Amino acid sequence: MGSLRLVSYNIHGGVGRDRRFNERRILEVLRETEADAIALQEVENTKHGLDVLKWLGSELGFHHVAGATLVRTDAHYGNGLLARCPIQETSLLDLSWRGREPRGAISAQIDCDGQRLHIVATHLGLRPAERREQVTRLINLFRQNPSERAVLLGDLNEWFLWGRPLRRLHRFFERTPCPPTFPSRMPCLSLDRVWTHPRSMLKSLTVHKSAAARVASDHLPLIATLDF
């Protein structure tokens, strides 16, 4: 395998800019991206009787891992990981911060034609102090195996380009581009991010701006192409 295409996409519970839930629009956008692996945020695992993550995986022919952060009697909500390649050695990291909405990350190894990649898909909190602690825990996770090829991607909710969480991530992974992905109609904020280790593995980072993507969610998908 020469290259790998990864996507980070906050699907806003499947609710588009028209305030309507439509899982088929999300599927259309994901197909447009031609991704090999996808990190999803704000996934309602049960919506109108549909397990959205499982359904997306089935329609795409992808393996899937759910990382619910809010567990209810009628629905689960949180992160999701989809991958064309087999997903191995998965774990869920609790990033919840006192008194705030529960947050988490999915840590998984994917096996692409015998080559392994560590993917961590996350969605961080809204308060600066919350994000600082969450970034510290994420970096510690990557420090456990410093020689492996790895990717961190997701919605970091970091509005401040000069904020300490981003500075720490840039120091650890090296700086990467940050094209704006939010709001989808006229993006001006770089809330969705991708970092790779080693940095040289990242060939390109682009935003998917199709007509469908501008309506399907309040975020646009961020696409990373890796030299694998």
Instruction: Print the domain residue range for 50.
Output: 3-227
* C-alpha dihedral sign at 82, 25, 206, 218: negative
- In this structure, what CATH number is given to the domain that contains residue 95? 3.60.10.10
Give the pLDDT score at 112.
87
Peptide bond into 183 cis (omega under 30): yes
The count of C-alpha atoms lying within 13 angstroms of the C-alpha of 96, restricted to the half-sphere facing its C-beta, is: 12
From residue 97, how far is each of 60, 70, 120, 163 by CA, in Å?
A: 34, 13, 19, 18
* Per-10-residue mean pLDDT, the chain, length 228: 91 95 96 98 79 95 92 79 95 92 95 92 95 96 92 93 88 94 96 97 97 98 94
pLDDT at 74: 67
CA distance 143 to 138: 9
On the 0-12 / 13-18 / 19+ scale of CB atoms within 10 A, 37 is buried
Nearest CA-CA partner of 95 in 129, 50, 51: 129
Residues β-bridged to residue 188: none
95-104: b or e for each residue (b if 16 or more CB lie within 10 Å)? bebeeeeebb
- pLDDT for the residue numbered 114: 85
Q: Which of 221, 216, 148 is nearest to 181 (CA)?
A: 221
For 33, the enclosing helix (H) or strand (E) is helix 23-33
Helix axis angle for 52-60 and 23-33, nearest 10°, is 40
pLDDT of the residue at 1: 61
pLDDT at 37: 98
For the chain, what is the domain count?
Answer: 1
